[in-house]
Amino acid sequence: MKKILGYFNIQLNLNKITCDFDRNKFVRICLLIWLVIVLIGLKFIDVARYQNKPIKEYVDMFISLFAITVIVERSIAVIFQFARVPGLMLLEQKLVDEVGRYDYWGNITTPEKQDERLEQLKEWNKAIRLTKHQIRMYRKDNKILMTLVGLLICTVITVCGVRILHQFVNVNDMSCVQKTIFRFIDIILTAVVLAGGSQGLHALASTILRFIQEVTNQKTYSRKSTSKGGLKKEVQRLDTNE
């Protein structure tokens, strides 16, 4: 693990994570992985068929996924309300106390205490900046931790059978290896989409359902136009025979 992290120049610390990527090296590795995947894909000749389902089934699927996402979000929020919010409240209270001490020394006008006043103001100003930085980092860590916890929970949910891609693709004609790879990718992508939150899922669902609705409307219009054209030709044929 250390060798892998060292290759990407990633330094880990218990209090701080700093990432210094070698961009060119990272791009080369991504291209190499992409090429390997393409070469492996050339070995498989089985092509998956797309599902042809009514739009109502897709709507029901996205409603279920949206409900799951909201439940996960609220559950994580409650967990962090007990686990992390008290620490944030302590930091905020510490900041209030430090601001109070700073204001106290700032209001002192006694000439004999001016030197001590300036020294105290510098000290408390430094303490206030440090506490504000700690609060910012604490909130940032909260977001990262909530995302990671959400990703873990959503991964467990997808392993239990909640998937997105298999709703669009029929995997029955795939080989066993293809099915395994497809399920692996489906688990990862579904977990990422669910962990992205209800807003991201809503945007994704709206885009997909809007496209499906437009395609369905075009097909319906095309069938109606074809049926009208066929009827017109039949009427012309009967008129000619008469």
184, pLDDT greater than 60: yes
158 found inside a domain = yes
Residue 22 banded pLDDT, cuts 50, 70, 90: low
Measure the CA–CA gap between 21 and 9, rounded to whole angstroms.
Answer: 6
**Residue position matching structure tokens 């809503």:** 202
- Residues 183-197 have a mean pLDDT of 87
Domain of residue 33, residue span: 1-43
Residues 6+ apart with CB under 8 A from 53: 167
Domain for residue 152, yes or no?
yes
Q: What is the dihedral of CA 91, 95, 96, 100, to 10 degrees?
A: 150
DSSP labels, the chain: -HHHHHHTTEEE-SS-EEE---HHHHHHHHHHHHHHHHHHHTT----PEEP---HHHHHHHHHHHHHHHHHHHHHHHHHHHHHTHHHHHHHHHHHHHHHHHHHHHHT---GGGHHHHHHHHHHHHHHHHHHHHHHHHHHHHHHHHHHHHHHHHHHHHHHTT--SGGGTEE-TTS-HHHHHHHHHHHHHHHHHHHHT-HHHHHHHHHHHHHHHHHHHHHHHHHHHHHHHHHHHHHHHHHHHH-
Structure tokens at 110: 């006694």
**Confidence at residue 242, expressed as pLDDT on a 0 to 100 scale:** 52
**What pTM was estimated for this model as a whole?**
0.63
139 and 159 belong to one structural domain: yes
Model confidence at 4, pLDDT cuts 50, 70, 90, reads: very low
The dihedral region occupied by 9, where left means phi > 0, alpha psi between -120 and 50, and beta the remainder, is: left
In a domain, 58, yes or no: yes
Asked if the structure places residue 23 within a domain, the reply is yes
Residue 11 sits in the same domain as residue 68:
no
> 79 and 184 share a domain?
yes
The answer as to whether 236 is a domain residue is no
- Looking at the fold, whether 39 and 117 belong to one and the same domain comes out as no
Q: Is residue 74 located within the same domain as residue 186? A: yes
Angle between helices 114-159 and 85-106 (to 10 degrees): 170
The confidence score (pLDDT) of residue 220 equals 66
Query: Does 63 lie in the same domain as 142?
Result: yes
pLDDT tier at 5 (50, 70, 90 boundaries)? very low
Q: What pLDDT sits at residue 112?
A: 66
Q: What pLDDT sits at residue 45?
A: 59
Q: Name the residue with higher pLDDT: 17 or 54.
A: 54
Inside any domain, residue 231? no
Tell me, yes or no, whether 13 and 62 share the same domain. Answer: no
Contact 150, 73 (CB under 8 A): yes
Residue 235 lies inside a defined structural domain of this protein: no
- Taking only the tens place, the pLDDT of each residue in 103-148 is 877 777 776 677 777 887 788 888 888 888 888 888 888 888 888 8
**pLDDT tens sequence across 28-82:** 888 888 888 777 777 765 666 777 777 778 778 888 888 888 888 888 888 888 8
- Same-domain check for residues 111 and 153: yes
In a domain, 191, yes or no: yes
Query: 70 with 28, same domain?
Result: no
